[in-house]
Amino acid sequence: MSAKQVSILLVGIGGYGNTHVNELLHAYSDGDIHPVIAGVVDVHPEKSNHYQALQDLKVPFYTTMDHFYADNKADLAVISTPIQFHCEQTCLALANGSNVLCEKPIAATVQEVRRMMDARDRSGKFVAIGFDWSFTPQIQQLKQDVMSGVFGRPKRLKTIVLWRRTDSYFSSGWKGRKKSDQGEWILDSVAHNATSHYLHNMFYILGSKTDESLRLQSVEAELYRANPIENFDTCAVRVQGEGGVEALFYATHAVSHNFGPSFCYEFEKATITYTSGQNSNRIDAVFADGTVKGYDALKSSKLRTCIKAVASGDSSIPCGLEAAYAEVLCANGMLDSMPAIRTFPASMILRDEEVKFTWVEGLREALLDSYHRWALPSEAGFDWAAKGSQTELGNYRAYVG
């Protein structure tokens, strides 16, 4: 049987978009599926590492999606643009008959996510959200085991991610910003961009269906910044979810050495742990009697999943809008919990002028200490720390700032 051709529109081919281009150019020689790049939409395509290769293939380039769709169609639009464009571009792709793989996070605000859900329902197409872990067989197996009660009731979960980011990261024009110059919400932050995978994963594995996450009830957040940005580069968060489960999340870009992601999910009958770089990157579930169930290193291709879904007509996507919604809800609620982000005391903020990054003395230790104690830094007694208010998420309708 010959492979079914799937036409693909790439929206955003620089930055992370390079990964998708690279995969399309090199990873589909197995004859199983046959993706064809129908076009590229990017305002600065020449910045992509694959610009010349795409030119050589005579792929047409456009600066807007309207121009592409005026003369073309695509089975799948792959959107890897800054957060403020996700909603508009996803809705436009759906209205023009494309399925969508949109990069995480879904969008800046929950109200945009609802618009995207409506547009998807009108179109009959699917929208996948690029939380990579959710597309791995390992996380799917773990989620299946959680759903079928292998570990008993979830009690509490925690995750820590300490990832340094240099000045160049924040100079992209949208990273660390709350609003664009045109007034669109961006709400880019350490939690709602680079480390959002791991915030999402806590909610995702507790969802009662494959494409669902835990229902969130409230959030209290501590939000800080060391870098000269509008939004926060450091956070500690406590989320309450349905069934009395608690999720704690600690993340920062203001450290000099990376750590994590590392997590610990406590259930009635087992504790599930993972630390990047340890145990061959395996997730281990340790039961009360010492039995261990391991989930191997996480590998997947969300792009391949989406192309296969288009080719087969089976559009059951493991991580769509409903599944990824909880992360946006949490990120919006965090900002409502602590609208006035605290800048770390000047005496704690240090600079590395060689590599060009800002970091906070003692922050790595403080976040690890809080993580080990299942506490927020303010509860653990750090004098620079302060907690936001408890924000209800059960009936949360819109982030208005």
Ligand X SMILES: NC(=O)c1ccc[n+]([C@@H]2O[C@H](COP(=O)([O-])OP(=O)(O)OC[C@H]3O[C@@H](n4cnc5c(N)ncnc54)[C@H](O)[C@@H]3O)[C@@H](O)[C@H]2O)c1
Contact footprint for ligand X (CB under 6 A): 11-17, 41-44, 47, 80-83, 85, 103-104, 130, 132, 172, 193
| Radius of gyration over every alpha carbon of the chain, rounded to an integer in angstroms | 21
Residue closest to ligand X, measured at CB: 15
**Alpha-carbon gap, residue 76 to 126, rounded angstroms:** 9
Distances (CA, A) of 174 to 84, 138, 161, 182: 9, 33, 21, 12
CB of 108 to ligand X, least distance (A): 10
Q: Please, which residue, 15 or 60, has the CB nearer to ligand X? A: 15
Which residue in 295, 265, 262 sits closest to 142, CA to CA?
295
**Alpha-carbon gap, residue 212 to 204, rounded angstroms:** 7
- Token pair recorded at residue 68: 């592409």
Q: Please, which residue, 41 or 54, has the CB nearer to ligand X? A: 41
**Alpha-carbon gap, residue 142 to 295, rounded angstroms:** 7
Is 156:248 a contact under the CB 8 Å cutoff? yes
